[in-house]
Structure 1
């Protein structure tokens, strides 16, 4: 059965990964993010204690 012969398919797989890693990946990682997230300001809450009437 010719579809079980790994010789042509293995070469195609290796070549496609080579193209992806050597050509496409550097182009993709070179792009900058448009909207970099800014750190949020920390809001401090009112720290008054709540006195429960039954204690």
Structure 2
């Protein structure tokens, strides 16, 4: 029964964390966003309340 052999557990756990902590974040950071966000003045957008006459 291979699941009862604890010898490879540490290496499997270690290499999986190496992948999760080094390779995957670099792929996410290198992702190019199609539109760069720009700041918008709060004065330009006036939020009017809706009139619900009922």
TM-score range, shorter chain: 0.3 to 0.5
| Structure with the greater alpha carbon radius of gyration | 1
> Structure 1 length normalisation: TM-score?
0.46
